Structure 1
Amino acid sequence: METASPARRVAVELSRCGDKGVTGPLQGHHHEAYAIVLPLGNPLGEEYVRGKLRVRREGLLWFDRRTFAFEDELLMALKGRVSRIPECVEFAEGLFLQGFVEGRTLRDRRFGIGRLSGRHVGQLGELFGQIAVVKNGELALKMLPEDVFRPSVRDGDTAGFLGGLIDFTQGEVYEKNRGEFGSLFDRLGVSAASLNGLRDRASGLTPRPFCLVHGDLHRRNLIVDSRGDLWFIDWELAMIGDPLYDLATHLHLMNYNECDALRVKEAWRGAVEAVCPGASEGWERDLPHLLTFKQAQSVYTDVIRTAVALQLGVGALAGASAGAASPGPGAASPAPARRLARAAWKVQRVLALARTALGLPSVPTRAEIRATYGEWVRRRG
């Protein structure tokens, strides 16, 4: 019998129902997380039936800049300032318990992929307005010392902010991992020089006052509760910066149709301007440049993530059904072939979307990408 991890043992001790009251580990890459039935004397309040205990996994690849050392401390600092975010308490030194938001993510097909109701558009706009008033220096929280790419620029220097993001992608994603994944980038035609065009675009951005940005507003981080309200979770990538970056990231991750994208843009602009005049200055001209960066960033991150998923044989790329019959002697396993095919589709898609952003003369075919990843995996056994 497999020994329980330290995090699970803590979850069992906290749960009112012992091991039966623990669900998990929950889906997630950077944390080992468990949902627990809260004990008597619920520290999170009567609104929550369950809490979420998360312990950060060490030694993992990070593809996004992080500013705050502890997401839990940020949530506690935002209490009373930002609506519909999880309650959070520190129950022991360095151990935090978050309220578990009961509901379904917007990834659930019953909500319609890529669509938001008018109510949810309004609540999303409310979020943008609430965080737009949170300025640099207002949150006395521990910062990550290793975030060497945090731009030491004056408030409103949007060009410096985007330049710092580009530097992070080049240094911490591409250069830092080139020893292991460099052959993939080379075969796909992507290099550090591919980011030069983005730097030129960044230099002309319009100044806007900086504020808190969530940085990761995608469907899995948007929860609809039983009352139909929209909640916002996973603040680990939050930072102080250009408010337009949050809109660009959200649009890139959500892949709205044109009509819904327009509704969200209008909600964002109205919300940030109402509380922070000038926060949307030049947004229509600058938004395409930030979207272009997000497309390019996806290439560098997805090339590596896809390789890791193939090497481990797990994750979203896994195509084999559990319990499938094993192939006969000498036969090729169908699961790796299916995973390679899905990997090729995924990588070709992000390359095609970012072709102009990265200045790529062409995009490899799916067969070429499949062969590239197949060779990379074989070399690693």
Structure 2
Amino acid sequence: MDAVALYEEARTRDTGQSGHYNRNVRVETADGPVVVRMRNHHAEAMDLALWPEPEVLAAIADRVSSAPRLLHAGTDPDFQIHGFVGGRRVDTLAPEGAALPGAVLDGVEGLYRDLLRVPLSALPPVPRDWPDEGDTTGFADRLTSLVQAIRHRGDEEAEGLYEALGVPKDPCGVLRERFRGLAARRFGLLHADVHRQNMILTDAGRVAFLDWELALWGDPVYDLADHLHKTAYRADQAREVTEGWERSAPLECRRGWRPDLGTYLAFEAVKSAVVDTVRWGRRIADAEEAGERTRLARELAAKLAAARPHWEAGARPVPQPGEIEEAVARHRV
């Protein structure tokens, strides 16, 4: 396999699936299709990241069978080649709000079972200043610090939009107090980005989980909350997934987990409002049709409404979609 030649072929194509951090292009070879995965170095960091993705995939190759197979990792240029997984991406089978096939729920439970049995010794080293084993509050502090940095990362226009839409200067102030009451739990390997677009229901009826660039060593309850938030299950299936996580997680990973799950879900709502104020603001500004602008403004209003109960007392009312459109027009981010 001439990896560089495959990369050169892939990077000239305008096809493939583009995420926030990477672009994936299927390329045919004499031995069958592969996926060339190319890093977007201009992407703003919106999530914690601990290790280079190829190091994670190499470490878990014999421990997490539902992860993609790493065939090559290059640094100059920065790209990977993964084994191709045949099947259907789950969001094409069941878009947001629709019920997911039972095989997907079973696959998610199996993923958590595998993840939480990977020892830290099998993984790449963590930074010296990473929270100590079981320090769930220290882990949560990393999450809130990132959101605070995102809130104040933008220019004057971004700050103006945040102000206009009532996003507090310290959006995690209340949550930071709640995080101090987290139960101590054993850390585990977290995927930290499992959602409908990152799951493939294979031709064999199993589930493959893609995009491991945000994998972390931390509180397993956060991984469940992140998944529930991003996947937007129906209520009955959210309960099934939560029960599956409880079955699969070792006892020491789920001490005091029930109230803490609610705290992490509140964090996810706040993070979404902070990140998507700018992202949706750009989408609204770029939309050519009035109907599309209104639809996006309604979506952003819903995100702000979900976060508002977790902000400080006296938070301003959530703006209406028309007010959001007007604010975006004034503050082009």
TM-score by length of 1: 0.79
Per the TM alignment, residue 310 of structure 1 is displaced from its structure 2 partner at its CA by 4.0
Look up the match of 2:325: 370
Look up the match of 1:210: 187
2:104 to 117, 120, 134: 120
Aligned-partner SS, 1:278: helix
1:67 aligns with 2:50: yes
Asked whether the 8 Å contact 1:120–1:230 carries over to 2, the reply is: yes
Q: Are residues 213 and 91 of structure 1, via their aligned partners in 2, closer, same or farther at CA, if it must alter by over 3 Å?
A: closer
1:356 to 309, 314, 324: 309
Look up the match of 2:87: 103
Mean alpha-carbon deviation: is it higher for 198-207 or for 156-165? 156-165
Bigger-Rg structure (1/2): 1
1:201 to 173, 178, 181: 178
Give the share of equivalent positions with the same residue, in percent. 29
Asked whether the 8 Å contact 1:23–1:35 carries over to 2, the reply is: no
Look up the match of 1:158: 136
> Using the alignment, how far apart are the partners of 2:95 and 2:301 within structure 1?
28
Asked whether the 8 Å contact 1:107–1:113 carries over to 2, the reply is: no
Q: Are residues 213 and 338 of structure 1, via their aligned partners in 2, closer, same or farther at CA, if it must alter by over 3 Å?
A: same
> Using the alignment, how far apart are the partners of 2:161 and 2:19 within structure 1?
25
Q: Residue type matched to 2:202 in 1?
A: D
Per the TM alignment, residue 33 of structure 1 is displaced from its structure 2 partner at its CA by 3.0
Q: Residue type matched to 1:228 in 2?
A: G
Asked whether the 8 Å contact 1:35–1:51 carries over to 2, the reply is: yes
Q: Are residues 97 and 196 of structure 1, via their aligned partners in 2, closer, same or farther at CA, if it must alter by over 3 Å?
A: same
Q: Are residues 366 and 92 of structure 1, via their aligned partners in 2, closer, same or farther at CA, if it must alter by over 3 Å?
A: closer
Aligned-partner SS, 1:194: coil
Structural RMSD (CA): 2.5
Per the TM alignment, residue 340 of structure 1 is displaced from its structure 2 partner at its CA by 2.5
> Using the alignment, how far apart are the partners of 2:43 and 2:96 within structure 1?
33
Superposed counterparts of 1:15-30, under 5 Å: 24-30=15-21
> Using the alignment, how far apart are the partners of 2:8 and 2:322 within structure 1?
51
2:60 to 74, 78, 84: 78
1:228 aligns with 2:205: yes
> Using the alignment, how far apart are the partners of 2:164 and 2:111 within structure 1?
42
Mean alpha-carbon deviation: is it higher for 367-376 or for 177-186? 177-186
> Using the alignment, how far apart are the partners of 1:199 and 1:92 within structure 2?
39
Per the TM alignment, residue 245 of structure 1 is displaced from its structure 2 partner at its CA by 0.7
Superposed counterparts of 1:125-274, under 5 Å: 125-140=109-124, 152-171=130-149, 173-273=150-250
Question: What is the CA deviation profile of residues 153-180 of structure 1, one whole-angstrom value per residue up to 9, with x for unaligned ones?
Answer: 3211111111110011102x11122544
Per the TM alignment, residue 12 of structure 1 is displaced from its structure 2 partner at its CA by 6.9
Aligned-partner SS, 1:192: coil
Aligned-partner SS, 1:54: strand
Per the TM alignment, residue 26 of structure 1 is displaced from its structure 2 partner at its CA by 2.7
Look up the match of 1:295: 269
> Using the alignment, how far apart are the partners of 1:118 and 1:213 within structure 2?
22
Look up the match of 1:90: 72
Look up the match of 1:33: 24
> Using the alignment, how far apart are the partners of 2:116 and 2:60 within structure 1?
12
Aligned-partner SS, 1:163: helix
Aligned-partner SS, 2:82: strand
Asked whether the 8 Å contact 1:216–1:250 carries over to 2, the reply is: yes
> Using the alignment, how far apart are the partners of 2:220 and 2:62 within structure 1?
21
Asked whether the 8 Å contact 2:57–2:69 carries over to 1, the reply is: yes
Asked whether the 8 Å contact 2:55–2:124 carries over to 1, the reply is: no
Question: What is the CA deviation profile of residues 303-349 of structure 1, one whole-angstrom value per residue up to 9, with x for unaligned ones?
Answer: 111133345x3xxxx5xxxxxxxxxxxxxxxx253343123111101
Asked whether the 8 Å contact 2:186–2:253 carries over to 1, the reply is: yes
> Using the alignment, how far apart are the partners of 1:110 and 1:351 within structure 2?
25
> Using the alignment, how far apart are the partners of 2:172 and 2:142 within structure 1?
12
> Using the alignment, how far apart are the partners of 1:286 and 1:204 within structure 2?
8
Asked whether the 8 Å contact 1:76–1:89 carries over to 2, the reply is: no
Look up the match of 1:331: none
Asked whether the 8 Å contact 2:59–2:122 carries over to 1, the reply is: no
Question: What is the CA deviation profile of residues 189-229 of structure 1, one whole-angstrom value per residue up to 9, with x for unaligned ones?
Answer: 11232321010110000011011100011100011111221
Larger RCO: 1 or 2 (CA < 8 Å, sep 6+): 2
Per the TM alignment, residue 361 of structure 1 is displaced from its structure 2 partner at its CA by 3.6
Per the TM alignment, residue 240 of structure 1 is displaced from its structure 2 partner at its CA by 0.5
Q: Are residues 82 and 23 of structure 1, via their aligned partners in 2, closer, same or farther at CA, if it must alter by over 3 Å?
A: farther
Question: What is the CA deviation profile of residues 61-85 of structure 1, one whole-angstrom value per residue up to 9, with x for unaligned ones?
Answer: 12111111x2122112110100221
> Using the alignment, how far apart are the partners of 2:36 and 2:205 within structure 1?
25
Aligned-partner SS, 1:61: coil
